């Protein structure tokens, strides 16, 4: 999450052809060892185990009685890998020219060729024996397909990923020499794809991919598993599946502790778990997590540090949910002072702190102060462009206008906030904003308009959250009530 996404994509695209080249050269340089007339099967076991060569190991280990077939399989695979390398290089050239559709097709062609060749190899020589060199080349090639697929919003890349996942599963279920490498390859690939889709706010698909990666890596309480668990938790949280988010965050925290992570990572993991408990209304557990995290951060970094301030922000959210607004107000002042000291007065994080303070003022019924703070936050955020921060400001201002009886102004800002969120593809939040507008229209007796917007909310929530999500069901029931009221 901390690494630059463009940098990751570029390194993947640049590295894949080099890996394939190295693999082919290595395989072809050892081709003589595969000739039945130059090596007896028993003598192949020892050197091949230490210096893996595709197919040579299968001949000896499986008792393959058809060495010529095995050798033919190897030669076919090596030739396919060379063709795939050519496709990868062509894809990179297309990408440099900005011809992304052609680049994507070339990436897909190369990976599909590798899949077919490896599948054929498995049929001839057994499963669990594809070498780490080829698995690494396959991994980097599939990453190129996934990154291009996400960029073009194509589904073909995910279909290819699913095929590769089945292929790798066949490899590691065989429980042979290279099975652990195949399993880790699958974990990394599904984590990579899931994280990219999470960044693109495609939360449902991201959750599905990260869940598979999570389950496969669960027995390894290491930093890699901690990252996967954290990203899975983020996807579940955005889908408002807070129980699943809690489970994933708890696993991430355990992995961080087991692997000896630094205080900052452990504190961040505690914060995520605390906010999940907050959404589940388990306020005692949330308070324990967040206050522990805050105290740890203060001891390690002091009060004016991004980790400490992030935790203080989450404590404010907890106070608001508990309706302890006086404590939330005090902490909001402290939070704003700290953020201004750390980032200055015109930073986007300062705008977020100002808006948080405004929300607390609104909850306390101090609407004039709340409106001034929300407008100040909006002015800072607008300089950075239209994103979910500006949408959040407008949503807050609209809520204040509604409370003050300025319904036309409120409706306009609800609409602007919704449009911005749809533009940045944050559909889950967009549905929340539109739902606020539905509630306002319904309270004003404008049932036809409320019904129309409620239908839009339902459509978005079915797409983003799924038809069986609690919020989707609630919206469906609300729409049914509105339909009955308007029909009568």
| CA geometry: angle 301, 306, 224, nearest 5 deg | 90
130 sits in the region (left: phi over 0; alpha: psi -120 to 50; else beta) called beta
Instruction: For residue 385, count other CB atoms closer than 10 A to its CB.
Output: 11
Domain boundaries, given as residue ranges, for the chain: 1-200
Q: Which residues lie closer than 8 Å to 167 by C-beta, 6 or more apart?
A: 115, 118, 119, 122
More confident residue, 383 or 208: 208
Lowest pLDDT segment from 11-25, 67-81, 193-207, 375-389: 11-25
Give kind and range of the element (H or E) at residue 481: helix 470-487
C-alpha 293/C-alpha 315 separation (Å) is 10
In this predicted structure, the answer to whether residue 17 has a pLDDT above a threshold of 90 is no
Measured between its terminal Cα atoms, the distance across the chain in Å is 52
pLDDT at residue number 475: 94
More confident residue, 368 or 3: 368
Taking only Cα atoms into account, the Rg of the chain, rounded to an integer number of angstroms, comes to 28
pLDDT at residue number 14: 52
pLDDT at residue number 386: 63
C-alpha 71/C-alpha 187 separation (Å) is 31
C-alpha 272/C-alpha 396 separation (Å) is 24
In this predicted structure, the answer to whether residue 16 has a pLDDT above a threshold of 60 is no
pLDDT at residue number 228: 94
User: Could you identify the residue written with the tokens 């669960």?
Assistant: 218
pLDDT digits (tens, 9 = 90+) for 157-216: 889 999 999 999 888 887 777 888 888 899 999 999 999 999 988 898 999 999 999 988
pLDDT at residue number 80: 77
In this predicted structure, the answer to whether residue 377 has a pLDDT above a threshold of 80 is yes
Sign of the C-alpha dihedral, residues 465, 470, 474, 479?
positive
The candidate with the shortest Cα–Cα distance to 433, out of 419, 448, 452, is 419
In this predicted structure, the answer to whether residue 53 has a pLDDT above a threshold of 50 is no
Lowest pLDDT segment from 84-88, 120-124, 220-224, 470-474: 220-224
C-alpha 52/C-alpha 442 separation (Å) is 69
Q: What percent of the chain has pLDDT over 70?
A: 84
pLDDT band for position 36 (50/70/90)? very low
pLDDT band for position 48 (50/70/90)? very low
312 alpha carbon, distance to own chain's centre:
25
pLDDT digits (tens, 9 = 90+) for 73-112: 677 777 777 788 888 888 888 988 889 899 899 989 888 8
pLDDT digits (tens, 9 = 90+) for 261-297: 888 899 999 999 999 999 999 999 999 999 999 999 9
User: Could you identify the residue written with the tokens 């640049």?
Assistant: 14
**3-state secondary structure at position 149:** helix
C-alpha 154/C-alpha 202 separation (Å) is 13
pLDDT at residue number 21: 45
More confident residue, 480 or 113: 480
User: Could you identify the residue written with the tokens 């993947």?
Assistant: 12
C-alpha 160/C-alpha 142 separation (Å) is 8
Lowest pLDDT segment from 45-49, 98-102, 272-276, 301-305: 45-49
DSSP letter (8 states) at residue 487:
H
Sign of the C-alpha dihedral, residues 208, 214, 217, 219?
negative
In this predicted structure, the answer to whether residue 39 has a pLDDT above a threshold of 70 is no
How many residues can be counted in the chain? Answer: 488
DSSP letter (8 states) at residue 20:
H
In this predicted structure, the answer to whether residue 42 has a pLDDT above a threshold of 50 is no
pTM: 0.75
pLDDT at residue number 221: 61
Contacts 24+ apart (CB under 8 A), 148-157: 148/91, 148/95, 148/100, 148/103, 148/104, 148/107, 149/104, 150/193, 150/196, 150/197, 150/200, 151/100, 152/100, 152/101, 152/104, 154/104, 156/104, 156/108, 157/104, 157/108
pLDDT digits (tens, 9 = 90+) for 321-355: 999 999 999 999 999 999 999 999 999 999 999 99
Q: Which structure tokens are listed for 412?
A: 């306009």
Instruction: For residue 405, count other CB atoms closer than 10 A to its CB.
Output: 8
Give kind and range of the element (H or E) at residue 357: helix 348-363
C-alpha 74/C-alpha 76 separation (Å) is 5
The pLDDT mean for the chain works out to 83
In this predicted structure, the answer to whether residue 10 has a pLDDT above a threshold of 60 is no
Helices (H), 126-260: 132-152, 156-173, 179-199, 203-217, 223-238, 242-258
């Amino acid at each position: 999450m901390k690494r630059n996404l463009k940098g990751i994509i570029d390194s993947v695209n640049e590295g894949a052809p080099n890996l394939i080249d190295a693999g082919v050269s290595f395989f072809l340089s050892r081709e003589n060892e595969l000739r039945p007339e130059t090596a007896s099967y028993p003598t192949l076991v020892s050197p091949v185990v230490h210096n893996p060569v595709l197919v040579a190991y299968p001949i000896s280990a499986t008792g393959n009685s058809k060495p010529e077939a095995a050798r033919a399989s190897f030669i076919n695979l090596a030739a396919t890998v060379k063709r795939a390398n050519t496709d990868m290089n062509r894809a990179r050239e297309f990408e440099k020219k900005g011809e992304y559709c052609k680049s994507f097709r070339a990436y897909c062609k190369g990976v599909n060729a590798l899949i077919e060749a490896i599948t054929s190899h498995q049929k001839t020589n057994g499963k669990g024996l594809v070498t780490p060199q080829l698995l690494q080349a396959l991994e980097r090639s599939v990453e190129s397909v996934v990154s291009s697929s996400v960029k073009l919003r194509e589904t073909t890349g995910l279909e290819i990923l699913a095929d590769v996942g089945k292929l790798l599963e066949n490899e590691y279920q065989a429980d042979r020499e290279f099975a652990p490498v195949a399993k880790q390859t699958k974990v990394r690939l599904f984590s990579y794809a899931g994280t990219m889709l999470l960044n693109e706010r495609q939360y449902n698909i991201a959750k599905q991919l990260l869940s598979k990666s999570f389950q496969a890596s669960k027995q390894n309480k290491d930093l890699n598993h901690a990252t996967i668990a954290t990203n899975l938790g983020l996807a579940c949280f955005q889908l408002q599946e807070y129980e699943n988010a809690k489970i994933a965050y708890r696993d991430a925290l355990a992995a961080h502790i087991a692997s000896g992570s630094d205080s900052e990572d452990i504190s961040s993991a505690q914060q995520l778990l605390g906010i999940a408990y907050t959404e589940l209304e388990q306020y005692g557990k949330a308070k324990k997590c967040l206050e522990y995290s805050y105290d740890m951060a203060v001891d390690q970094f002091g009060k004016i540090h991004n980790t400490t301030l992030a935790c203080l922000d989450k404590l404010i959210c907890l106070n608001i949910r508990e309706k302890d607004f006086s404590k939330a107000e005090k902490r909001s002042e402290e939070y704003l002072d700290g953020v201004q000291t750390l980032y200055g007065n015109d930073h986007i994080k300062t705008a977020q702190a100002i808006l948080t303070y405004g929300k607390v003022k609104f909850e306390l019924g101090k609407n004039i102060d709340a409106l001034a703070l929300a407008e100040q936050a909006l002015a800072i955020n607008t300089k950075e462009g239209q994103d979910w921060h500006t949408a959040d400001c407008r949503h807050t201002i609209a809520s204040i206008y509604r409370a003050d009886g300025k319904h036309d102004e409120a409706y306009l800002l609800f609409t602007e906030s919704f449009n911005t969120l749809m533009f940045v593809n944050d559909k889950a939040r967009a549905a929340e904003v539109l739902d606020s507008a539905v509630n306002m229209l319904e309270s004003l007796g404008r049932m036809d308009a409320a019904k129309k917007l409620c239908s839009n909310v339902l459509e978005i929530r079915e797409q983003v959250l799924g038809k069986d999500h609690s919020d989707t069901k609630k919206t469906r029931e609300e729409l049914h009530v509105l339909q009955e009221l308007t029909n009568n």
